[in-house]
Amino acid sequence: MLDAEGIAALFTREGQYLCARWGRPVAPVIFGLTDESLAVFRDATRAVLAHARHPIADTDPEMGANMLTFFVRDWDELQGIPDLDRLTGQSGLPERLKASAADQYRLFRFDADGAIRACMAFVNMGGALADAHPGQLAETLAVRAMLSFTRDVVPTPELASLIRAAYDPVMPAVATDPSHALRLAARMDREG
């Protein structure tokens, strides 16, 4: 059972609590997949957004796309993305990912009010994820992009309930007080 303490742990890094959800419709775009795989990932993203009752859009008025997922076979392929440093706000990202033997990396951008404005995910399919089931990977990536989780999460019915609770219109789009986890737990109990 995911209780308030467990929920708080999902959003706490270095003693700081931050639970943020999307504050605008999500306009996803995926790079580096074949057409047949692309459909699986699009459908999973739509399903996770529908479950959260959050809108999806063809474009974001400011950014065009605001949920960007890049699939590569090797981190060196990221060198081919124009202005990657400017896009991510991080220099030397491919080298750092390669040095840490990461299989994926996710970063968020936030609006002035702290709500999620954009999410970028980079997925290396040449390593540990080479044999991942496309449907499971698609759902996992979509779920991890829904809230400002401080660690990797795996889709479960409880996690789906948590996301739905966080997207309830009565809940704030951004919370920095750990007592927010108590409210999420109570709302999950109500739905369960």
pLDDT tens digits for range 28-47: 999 999 888 899 999 999 99
Q: For residues 86 and 69, state if they share a domain.
A: yes
Question: Are 135 and 159 in the same domain?
Answer: no
- Same domain for 126 and 46: yes
pTM of the shown model: 0.93
Domain identity same for 12 and 29: no
Shared domain check, 110 and 39: yes
Please report, rounded to a whole number, the percentage of residues in the chain having pLDDT higher than 70.
99
Question: In terms of domains, do 130 and 165 share one?
Answer: no
Q: Which residues span the domain enclosing 90?
A: 24-146
Co-location of 114 and 59 in the same domain: yes
Does one domain contain both 39 and 105? yes
Last residue of a domain, one of 108, 127, 146: 146
Q: Please give the pLDDT value at position 192.
A: 53
HEC profile for the chain?
Answer: CCCHHHHHHHCEECCEECEEEECCCECEEEECCCHHHHHHHHHHHHHHHHHHCCCECCCECCCECCEEEEEECCHHHHHHCCCHHHHHCCCCHHHHHHHCCCCEEEEEEECCCCCEEEEEEEEECCCCCCCCCHHHHHHHHHHHCCECCCCCCCCCHHHHHHHHHHCCCCCCCEECCCCHHHHHHHHHHHHC
User: How many independent structural domains does the chain possess?
Assistant: 2
Average pLDDT, the chain: 94
* Together in a domain, 60 and 8: no
- Do 30 and 110 sit in the same domain of this protein? yes
Q: What is the CATH number of the domain that holds 51?
A: 3.30.379
How does pLDDT run across 118-130, given as a tens digit for each residue? 999 999 999 888 8
